[in-house]
Structures are given as structure tokens and as C-alpha cells.
């Protein structure tokens, strides 16, 4: 016949210790989880492009690439910095545009338009790009990166973002 074990009594001291431990655990979780979320959330946010206005369509002549300058606010955790950025805008028709990120896809130098050659030129390693952004010479692994854009309320709006450099595939940085 199996032996019966005597009932175990919980002393008042043990009961109070367990209640206090439970309350401390609850308070720690109630305060700790939101603090952890506050600290970790900025690192988990998806990086998105910056929507910027670069003027009206009439500011750009058909077939003439033009460098447009603007400022963006970068947030790294809780630090905010205003940075100057550029895009190359090529008007290809009445309401048709191609907008390029100005960084050479090789090492990130800002490309410049040479109207005599009819090419974008990278000053770092001699990368050459056509007016459509295709590589025509040098070491760049892919064409200039195009950016999404639209015309809203009579203004040209660009979704600016940076891309990983030195790789053949276009991927956001």
C-alpha cells in the first residue's frame, strides 16, 4: 500500500515572502517591459525614404539633367540631424521625369553631369553613366539608382533613399 505523505503546511513567513516576491515580479514587469520597448523600438523601425519636394515641373527643361538640392532630417535613435542631399532630375517629356540618387554605385562619389560628353561622370574612379543612368564605362557594378517620384499639387515630389554601394543588385541601405 502506498505511503501517504503528510500535508505540508505553509508558514505565515513563507506565505508573506511568496506574496512579496510576486508583487516585486509584477512591478518589475509592469515597469521593465515598457522601458525595454522604448529603448529597443528605434533600432527595430524600418528605414523608409524621405518624401521631399524638389520644385515644380516647369523648373526642369526637357533633356537637360539638373541637380536639385534639399535637406532631410535623419533620426538615429533620439538624435536628429539635418543633412543636405541632392538628386539628379532628368525631364524626359511633358510630365515624365527620371530621378537619380546622385551617388555612384561603385563607391558613392557624387556624379556630375558633363554636357559636352552627354554623360554623368564619377570623379573617384572614372565611372561613366548615360543620361538614362546606364553604365557606359568604368568600375560601377550597376546603373545609377532611380528614385520613385510623383507630381503632387503642381510640385515634383521625390522619395529619397540611399542604396548599398558596390554590389550589382539595387538594395536599400
Whether 74 and 90 share a structural domain? yes
Alpha carbon separation from 100 to 53, 61, 63 (Å, rounded): 14, 16, 14
**Residue 71 belongs to what domain range?**
50-160
pLDDT in the model for residue 62: 93
Whether 32 and 94 share a structural domain? no
Question: For 47, which DSSP code?
Answer: P
Q: Is residue 3 part of a domain?
A: no
Q: Is residue 34 part of a domain?
A: yes
Q: Is residue 77 part of a domain?
A: yes
Whether 65 and 103 share a structural domain? yes
pLDDT in the model for residue 94: 85
pLDDT tens sequence across 54-69: 999 999 999 999 999 9
Q: Does residue 44 register a pLDDT over 70?
A: no
CATH code for the domain in which residue 104 is found: 2.102.10.10
Q: Report the percentage of the chain scoring pLDDT > 70.
A: 91
Whether 116 and 137 share a structural domain? yes
Q: How many domains are there within the chain? A: 2
Whether 61 and 79 share a structural domain? yes
Q: Is residue 167 part of a domain?
A: no
Whether 79 and 40 share a structural domain? no
Whether 93 and 139 share a structural domain? yes
pLDDT in the model for residue 43: 64
Q: Does residue 1 register a pLDDT over 60?
A: no
Whether 41 and 54 share a structural domain? no
pLDDT in the model for residue 73: 85
Q: Is residue 170 part of a domain?
A: no
Whether 20 and 82 share a structural domain? no
Q: How far is residue 23's CA from residue 5's CA, in Å, rounded to a whole number?
A: 31
Q: How far is residue 92's CA from residue 98's CA, in Å, rounded to a whole number?
A: 7
Q: Does residue 86 register a pLDDT over 70?
A: yes
Whether 79 and 13 share a structural domain? no
Question: Counting beta carbons within 10 angstroms of the beta carbon of residue 154, is it exposed (0 to 12), middle (13 to 18) or buried (19 or more)?
Answer: exposed
Whether 60 and 128 share a structural domain? yes
Query: Dihedral of the CA atoms 98, 103, 109, 113 (nearest 10)?
Result: 0
Q: Is residue 169 part of a domain?
A: no
Q: Are 65 and 90 in contact (CB under 8 A)?
A: yes
pLDDT tens sequence across 139-163: 999 999 999 999 999 999 999 999 9
Q: Is residue 155 part of a domain?
A: yes
User: How high does pLDDT run on average in the chain?
Assistant: 88
Mean of the pLDDT values across residues 91-97? 91
Amino acid at each position: 500500500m502506498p505511503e501517504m505523505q503528510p500535508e505540508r503546511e505553509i508558514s505565515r513567513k513563507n506565505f508573506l515572502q511568496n506574496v512579496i516576491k510576486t508583487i516585486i515580479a509584477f512591478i518589475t514587469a509592469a515597469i521593465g517591459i515598457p522601458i525595454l520597448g522604448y529603448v529597443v523600438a528605434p533600432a527595430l523601425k524600418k528605414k523608409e525614404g524621405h518624401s521631399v519636394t524638389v520644385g515644380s515641373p516647369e523648373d526642369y527643361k526637357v533633356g537637360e539633367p539638373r541637380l536639385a538640392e534639399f535637406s532631410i532630417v535623419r533620426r538615429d535613435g533620439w538624435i536628429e540631424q539635418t543633412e543636405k542631399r541632392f538628386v539628379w532630375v532628368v525631364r524626359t517629356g511633358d510630365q515624365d521625369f527620371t530621378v537619380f540618387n546622385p551617388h555612384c554605385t561603385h563607391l558613392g562619389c557624387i556624379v556630375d553631369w558633363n554636357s559636352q560628353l552627354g554623360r554623368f561622370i564619377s570623379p573617384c574612379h572614372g565611372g561613366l553613366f548615360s543620361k538614362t543612368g546606364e553604365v557606359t564605362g568604368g568600375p560601377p557594378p550597376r546603373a545609377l539608382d532611380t528614385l520613385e517620384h510623383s507630381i503632387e499639387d503642381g510640385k515634383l515630389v521625390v522619395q529619397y533613399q540611399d542604396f548599398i554601394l558596390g554590389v550589382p543588385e539595387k538594395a536599400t541601405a
